[in-house]
Structure 1
Amino acid sequence: MTRFSMFPQSPVPSLNKKAIAYEWKNGGPVITWAIIAICVAVWLVEVLTRLLMPQVFSALVSAGMVMPATMVLRPWTWLTSMFLHAPSMLHILFNMLALYSVGPILERMMGHWRYLALYLISGFGGSVGLLVWARLTGDWFTAAYGASGALFGLFAALLVVYRRIGVDIRSMLIWMGINFLMPLVVGNIAWQAHVGGFVVGGALTWLLVSGVPALRRRSFTQRMWIYGTAMVVLLLIVVVVCTPYLWM
């Protein structure tokens, strides 16, 4: 569960096609709003099925959440778990407020598709964070879902960018520290996904804005392809190394 109120918000774009096309062309937060819309739609389906068809709800959540023990056998959960949330309104409310606050800033800075790539790769990093913890502790059956891993990747990205351009980040660091300590007070928080998403999102953004000197003259899109692909490959290697039954 993520709390966020630090960054300026963007106006809600109109939903007609012409307005969406205008927002897309002019760097508006179209991807951010699409992610929010998908998450809210999925959450509404969860709430309705939980009330009307509990068995369908259980099957839906079971099929979409990520679990270290089955992560390799069900690779789609790396993606679907980012769009599932607990039936409680607080979970999705805080996550979507956080995305609404920080997403438009990064989407305008990075461009639509590069921002989406950062979001998805950070979310994958969150899932891998769960797997690494399971390999270290034997906790293979702790499942998780929610956008928090991807969101923490966005937070880390903004920290890297702000630090790069000389913005004072002390208040952000305090806020991030509070969020990392929150699992000590509030239960049922997959902090491992927070750490995984934060590390991956921060590392990828650092590579994009600094990175290998020989690649700095490449376009931003080319660097995202190079570093994004390398990060995904690295995460896949970690998955293979940390999954014991692949070595039996």
Structure 2
Amino acid sequence: MPLREHLLELRKRLFLVACGLVVGGVAGWVLYEPLLDALQAPLQVAAQEQDKTIALNFTGMASALDMKVKVALFLGVIVSCPWWLYQLWAFITPGLTRRERHYAFGFLGAAVPLFLGGAALAWWVLPHAVDILAGFVPEGATNFTDAQGYLSFVMRLVLAFGLAFVSPVVLTGLNMSGLLRHETLAKGWRWAVLIAFVFAAVMTPTPDALTMIFVALPICVLYFGALGLAVLHDRRADRKRVAEAL
């Protein structure tokens, strides 16, 4: 596909993703109150356990409205993940045959639970991270956390974990489209493991190594699963290519 057609396809997919986010954002707007309560829960628990004053702070007249819009979009990203994951898949695998495209939809079906699983793991890590970070507040001090800064922290955490869990599906799509061979994945497995553990260490600011290992291992397993699928696909494609050449 020429570069111009790639750019037009990218623009089309981004527009469709934006439409999905708007629809999901409407649901986020409606569910703002319970979602905000859930976001504040780790702060309230840390405040009770450490006997400190820790609360969200809205610093401007419009900050509460900005917070509601951002929370709505945040939930919109989560709710519409099947839609934008499909658009991602459709963009990176435009040249597949009908049979391969049908086979690929099976992997797309795995992307949604993987993203949600990564987001759920981040949600599990969040209270631990808040508790550790709140422990640095000196005795007698008050921690009024900027509401939008806290939301950005939560969003980065959830989306980073979700996308990390989806990355093997993207690698599989690149392999099936002929852009990435299994040999490349096999050569880069050490870097993949290192990146997984560095990511886990950065995103889980807890002092114990067990939590880091618990976060990094699923990412490593998913990477090697993608490698195994790439090996099977490349062998089948190579046999087909040899048969056609005879």
Pairwise same-fold verdict (TM > 0.5): no
Larger helix proportion, structure 1 or 2? 2
Q: Normalised by the shorter chain, which TM-score bucket? A: 0.3 to 0.5
TM score, norm. by length of structure 1: 0.35
TM score, norm. by length of structure 2: 0.36
